Structure 1
Amino acid sequence: MSLAVRARSPNTVRKLNKNKLYLLGPRFWHVRGHFKVLKVVDIEAQMSIVQLSNGKFLIIDTINMNDRLRQEIDNLTSNGDNIEAVIGVHPFHTLSFPSFYQAYPKAAYFGTPRHLRRLTGIPWAGDLNDSSVRKQWEPDVEMRIPAGAEFINPQPESTNHFISVFVYHSASQTLHVDDTIMYTEKPGFLLRLMGCRDGAIAFHPAIKTFGLQQTREAPYLFRDWLCHVICDWPFENMCCAHMGVKIGGAYLDVVKLLKNTEPLFVKMSEQNKMRYFDVTETSDYHTNTNINGNECG
């Protein structure tokens, strides 16, 4: 499938401070949170806030709030009264939802099937696996689930954190994506030792093992799905849970990533055809990025 590449502005890098709201574009705020592995390596977490055309707010993912961030959100949303909904778009980003629900219990909460199974103390209003739920906030916000990957019950839970719902906000031309795509922004010393490079963009390492379904068609289903996303959503910015935000130039970076991954798609398809799956190329460290059980956010 061919890609129609649009002209995009040059890449720019901007490091965002933690626990502080940033306005990335019209009606789109973003905040970075700490998420430390082994209490030392901060791979970060994220939350985005969109003001809908009706004036209400949609929260995308949650992080642990300090007092300053709580006050900023209160000021923005009239103490939470104007939060229409809170959505969890990654099956394994669950840890901060209970505390966020305690802070803002009046909002409607929507999550992945795993959110609904795991966090039974939250009265979930709907499941993002339901297309009618994902369409509730269109045209302000569009959501899509990657093809070729398991969304309802990703296995093994300890390492298969590839899948997430992609969320696009057209007014700010911003894409919010959790682990499926990772962007490294000014990594610290320990992350550099692990091979992370400043400005690097990559798919989650699980793409090489269990991230995609082990069928001949799955790699191409995912590739073609992402081609459609690129053609339909002219995003400039990309907010990635781990480990940064790409402000400007994200579109061309994803186009390049997809083209560079084509040999891997071909290899995986052939391996799956022979009912053999090569796990020798997995990252040495991605299995250790969970902080509490199988949760990575």
Structure 2
Amino acid sequence: MIFGLSSILFRSIFQPFRTMASAIPAQTPNAAQNLDKNELYSIGPGFWNVRGRFKILKLIDIETQMSIIQLRNGKFLVIDTVEMNDRLRQEIDQLTNNGEKIEAVIATHPFHTLAFPAFYQLYPKPAYYGTPRHLRRLTDIPWKGDLDDCNIRKKWEPEVEMRIPAGAEFINPQPESSNHFISVFVYHPASRTLHVDDTIMYAEKPGFLLKVFGYKDGAMAFHPSIKNAGLHPTAEAPYLFRDWMRNVLKDWPFDNICCAHMGVKMGGAHADVSALLERAEPLFDKISAKNKKKNPSGELPPGNHPNINVSGDECG
């Protein structure tokens, strides 16, 4: 059963970049290369990123991530979690006064759950906020709030901004085995850094096995599930997501992007994502036409929730 699930994840993630209409090579050099795992790296003023391991079939490390943001009050937000080791805990303890200065821990991706229970055991005092799926699945953590609540997403503005992509299912993504497209985007203006999990993927130096499956150096792409279950199955969904991304690019002049899978791009990230979005236009057209043919009424499947606000932080 474990092997079967891993195989599904393998197929969903390792579709070759060369077959994805949205994939592009990086437009600018990357200042962040060969980052070791489980170490704090300063990405910009008040922003640190940690690369974690996440292996498929026990062979291929597609990585995961955690970011830490320092607020003006001297406290910290932890964005997502990774598996801890002694060295990383010492670094976090030194940065945050043994965790006393961690104000909140925020889970941004519905399916990035594995490291949270252990992190909570180490740091139980901060407030924990998560996606609806985190609140449903990880019941041993006393969650303080749900990121589906716009008031939670606005809690740390203007220092930290959060938005949920339009045109995709956030509350109950299905099927769970492959629809890992959506995540909360987190932007830190002071460091001009964007933290995003599976929605956007970046591969600086993919390993040999990844290259066999078509991953190229410096490739950026939308998560492969955009081509099937990632977006709502309606004709308008691809364009809602596209327009939402356009507003993100207009409102957030980020220079760096931290992607869970599979790396960090320091410098020129805004140009890279802009090029990615522009290159994806034929893909959006294709998905829209397919959805219109299969679902001419444009109705959402049972259990899906409309998400059509393409501007701001969806609080209007």
TM-score (norm 2): 0.84
1:35 aligns to 2:38 (yes or no): no
Is the aligned partner of 1:221 residue 2:240?
A: yes
C-alpha separation between the residues in 2 aligned to 1:217 and 1:188? Answer: 37
For the 8 Å contact 1:11–1:250, the answer to whether it is kept is: no
Q: Matches of residues 40-79 of structure 1 in structure 2 within 5 Å?
A: 40-79=59-98
* Unaligned runs of at least 5 residues, structure 1: 1-8, 278-297
How big is the alpha-carbon RMSD for the aligned residues of Structure 1 and Structure 2?
Answer: 1.2
Q: What is the Cα deviation at residue 51 of structure 1?
A: 0.3
Task: Name the SS of the counterpart of 2:294 in structure 1.
Answer: coil
1:130 pairs with 2:116: no
Displacement of 1:274 after TM fit? 1.4
3-state DSSP of counterpart to 2:166: coil
Residue 276 of structure 1 deviates from its aligned partner by 6.0
Structure-1 residue corresponding to 2:263:
244
2:29 maps to a residue whose letter is: N
The structural deviation recorded for 1:11 is 2.7
Q: Partners in 1 of 2:49 and 2:287 — Cα distance? A: 35
Matches within 5 A, 1:174-253: 174-253=193-272
Equivalent residue of 1:149, what SS? coil
Calculate percent identity across the aligned residue pairs: 70
Q: Which amino acid aligns with 2:30?
A: T
- Give the secondary structure class of the aligned counterpart of 1:274: helix
1:11 aligns with 2:23: no
- Spell out, residue by residue over 1:167-193, the C-alpha distance to the aligned partner (whole angstroms, 9 max, x if none): 000000000000000001101111111
Paired residues in the alignment total 269
Conservation of the 8 A alpha-carbon contact between 1:21 and 1:31: yes
Matches within 5 A, 1:91-170: 91-170=110-189
In structure 2, stretches of 5+ residues that fail to align are 1-26, 297-316
Please tell me the residue identity of whatever aligns with 1:12: N
Aligned residues of 2:234 and 2:295 also touching (Cα < 8 A): no
User: What SS is found at the alignment partner of 1:48?
Assistant: strand
Q: 2 CA distance for matches of 1:126 and 1:11? A: 39
State the alpha-carbon separation in 2 of the partners of residues 210 and 46 from structure 1.
24
Mapped to 2, the partners of 1:10 and 1:255 lie a distance apart of: 12
TM (norm. structure 1) is 0.89
Once the two structures are superposed, the pairs formed by residues 81-96 of structure 1 within 5 Å of their partners are 81-96=100-115
Structure 1 residues 113-157: Cα deviation after superposition (integer angstroms, max 9, x where no partner)? 000000000000000000000011111100000000000000000
Q: Give CA deviations for 1:200-252 in whole Å, capped at 9, x if unaligned.
A: 00000000001000111100000000000000000000000000100111101
Residue 5 of structure 2 corresponds to: none
Deviations, residues 49-78 of structure 1 (Å, cap 9, x unaligned): 000011100000000111000000000000
How far apart are the structure 2 equivalents of 1:65 and 1:192?
28
Note the alpha carbon deviations across 1:94-113, whole angstroms, 9 max, x for none.
00000000000000000000
The CA deviation at 1:15 is 2.1
Counterparts of 2:244 and 2:121, CA distance in 1: 37
